[in-house]
Amino acid sequence: MSVSPVKRQKMESALDQLKHHTTVVADTGDFNAIDEYKPLDATTNPSLILAAAQMPAYQELVDDAVAYGKKLGGSEEEQIKNASDKLFVLFGAEILKRIPGRVSTEVDARLSFDKEGMIQRARRLIDLYKEAGIGKDRILIKLSSTWEGIQAGKVLEAEYGIHCNMTLLFSFAQAVACAEAGVTLISPFVGRILDWYIANGDKKTYEPSEDPGVKSVTKIYNYYKKFGYKTIVMGASFRNTGEIKALTGCDYLTISPKLLAELSKEYVKLTPTLSVKEAQACNLEKIHLDEKAFRWLHNEDQMAVEKLSDGIRKFAADAVKLERMLKERMFSAENGK
């Protein structure tokens, strides 16, 4: 439905209306996009950092990370790992100059089944931020929502006061376990769920309210609010603005620059579809999941099992590509290549 130019002048864009009901987060490592859309928070992941690290504008950060890795010394592998961690933190520190809230920095996806490894790497990232003069209150550490990742989040929150953002979350089982672990925030994915249903079913188009990703996040939001969990629900991974508008009222939504741009040019009236009041009236039973129950319930959801493992593989592959890029920068000259 088109809006007349006169009404458009009086009406706020869909993005500005969304900001009244939901905290808008920018899903990007590109500082220019953050400057343009002025989100409260920002999220990064290995794929976004890999993309940004290849842009000419950010080569100085890459050079700084390389110099840091070399300065610490150690084996070639250790130098690359230190440079990689430093690069994530350098991007995060630059992003924090542009937002009032928090930045999410991801732990290496190759540690997704290593609880102690994730705890150690998260603490390392927080130490690197501290060296840069940034306190842990402005950081969310992103962990894969495996059983091991969720338990690592529980320890980081309770024992170290490190805030966690549980990512690659596709199943209701993952959401329940995260709530019970008392993590700060979860990122239930929307678009990747839609992708799976389109690829594996006969139906190829969905209205936003019937979108399986939207329905998943709605159920999780309602469960958390009905039973008083404090964990923030941040919808992530969107394929279109319809999905975003259908989740108006969700605690947070993290949105790519492309979709932020589309929302800023849309002039339609937004009304909240999610609310605490409606959630408290919904018909959901409270459940408890130990490890055995979690693994069984998650395994019953074929989409979630496939998308979690696929997501881990993709983030791991991009971490390897990033390390390869850093390795070339660090060692190709001295090896005479």
| Three-state SS letters, the chain | CCCCHHHHHHCCCHHHHHHHHCEEEEECCCHHHHHHHCCCEEECCHHHHHHHHCCHHHHHHHHHHHHHHHHHCCCHHHHHHHHHHHHHHHHHHHHHCCCCCCEEEECCHHHCCCHHHHHHHHHHHHHHHHHCCCCHHHEEEEEECCHHHHHHHHHHHHHHCCCEEEEEECCHHHHHHHHHHCCCEEEEECHHHHHHHHHHCCCCCCCHHHCHHHHHHHHHHHHHHHCCCCCEEEEECCCCHHHHHCCCCCCEEEECHHHHHHHHCCCCCCCCCCCHHHHHHCCCCCCCCCHHHHHHHHHCCHHHHHHHHHHHHHHHHHHHHHHHHHHHHHHCCCCCC
Question: Which one from 142, 154, 245, 327 is the annotated catalytic residue?
Answer: 142
**Strand 139-144 vs strand 164-169: parallel, antiparallel, or unpaired?**
parallel
Determine whether 142 is an active site residue: yes
Residues tagged active-site: 142
